[in-house]
Amino acid sequence: MKSLDDLKGLIRSIPDFPKPGILFRDITTLIGHGDGFADAVAHLEQRVQQVDGEAIAGIEARGFIFGAAVAAGLRLPFLQIRKPGKLPVPVLAIDYALEYGTDTLEIDPGSVPSAGKVVLIDDLIATGGTATAATELLVRAGATIDHALFVIDLPDLGGAERLRAKGLSVDALMGFPGH
Ligand code: AMP
C-alpha cells in the first residue's frame, strides 16, 4: 500500500483558484491514479475501523467520492449530505456562513440510522465551516457522530480545532501547513 507521503505527492496544488490568494489542493490527480485512489480509500477504511464506525456520511460533492468508496468497501450504509434542492423527500436543512454569503446543506432524516456511530468524511477541511454544519445537521437528524475524517487538513485555517472544540475527534491522511 502506498505511504501517506506518496499519496500527498499525488495532490496537485493550483495557486489563485478559485480566487486570488487561495492555494487550491486538488484531488483530481490523486483519484486519477488507480493505486493512489485505492490506497487513499484503504487508509481511510482503516481509520473508520479503528473508531468502530457503523455508517459513513459524505458531503457533496468531493466527500461523496471518498465516502461512498469507503462505505462500499466496508459494507456500511452511506448517508448523503447534499446541496439544496436535490433530495426528493422532506429534508432537514442547515444554513452556514461562508467567507462571502451563506450556503445550505440538506439531509433526508430517514436515511440516518437510529443507532450506531456515523463517521463524517470529506476531502478537505479548511475553516471547518462546512464540516461543522454537516455535523450539526447529522445531530439534528438523530445521528450519533463523534468522528470526522478527511483526506487533507489545512491546519493553519483552524477547522480541525474548531470541530475538536465541539467534542469531535478529527483525523486526516495528510496536512498542508500554510494557507
Ligand atoms: P471549509 O468549510 O472552509 O472547511 O472548506 C471546506 C470545503 O471547501 C471542502 O469541502 C473543500 O472541498 C473546499 N476547500 C476549501 N479550501 C480549499 C482549498 N484550499 N483547496 C481545495 N478545496 C478547498
Residue matched to cell numbers 465516502: 67
Measured by CA distance, the residue closest to atom 18 of ligand 1 is 24
Copy the grid coordinates of residue 77: 450504509
Per-residue pLDDT at 135:
98
- Please state the φ and ψ torsions of residue 14, each to the nearest 5 degrees: -115, 115
DSSP assignment of 118-144 equals EEEEEEEESSSHHHHHHHHHHHHTT-E
Distance 100 CA to ligand 1 centre (A): 14
Burial class (CB in 10 A: 0-12, 13-18, 19+), 114: exposed
Distance 4 CA to ligand 1 centre (A): 20
Of 130, 150, 153, 156, the one to substitute when testing ligand 1's pocket (max ligand atoms within 8 A of C-beta) is: 130
Q: How many CB atoms lie within 10 A of CB 44?
A: 25
Q: How many CB atoms lie within 10 A of CB 111?
A: 18
3-state SS assignment for residue 152 = strand
Residue type, 103: D
Per-residue pLDDT at 100:
80
Per-residue pLDDT at 165:
97
Name every protein residue with a CB atom under 6 angstroms from any ligand 1 atom. 22-25, 62, 122-131, 154, 159
How, if at all, do strands 78-81 and 55-59 pair?
A: parallel
Tens of each residue's pLDDT in the chain, 179 residues: 999 999 999 999 999 999 999 999 999 999 999 999 999 999 999 999 999 999 999 999 999 999 999 999 999 999 999 999 999 999 999 999 987 899 999 999 999 998 999 999 999 999 999 999 999 999 999 999 999 999 999 999 999 999 999 999 999 999 999 87
- Please state the φ and ψ torsions of residue 73, each to the nearest 5 degrees: -60, -35
Per-residue pLDDT at 99:
76
Distance 102 CA to ligand 1 centre (A): 14
Distance 20 CA to ligand 1 centre (A): 15
SS3 content of the chain, % helix, strand, coil (to 5): 35, 30, 35
Distance separating alpha carbons of residues 149 and 14, to the nearest angstrom: 23
Distance 152 CA to ligand 1 centre (A): 9
Distance separating alpha carbons of residues 73 and 55, to the nearest angstrom: 12
Instruction: Give me the domains of the chain, ranges plus CATH numbers.
Output: 52-174 (3.40.50.2020)
Of 81, 100, 124, the one to substitute when testing ligand 1's pocket (max ligand atoms within 8 A of C-beta) is: 124
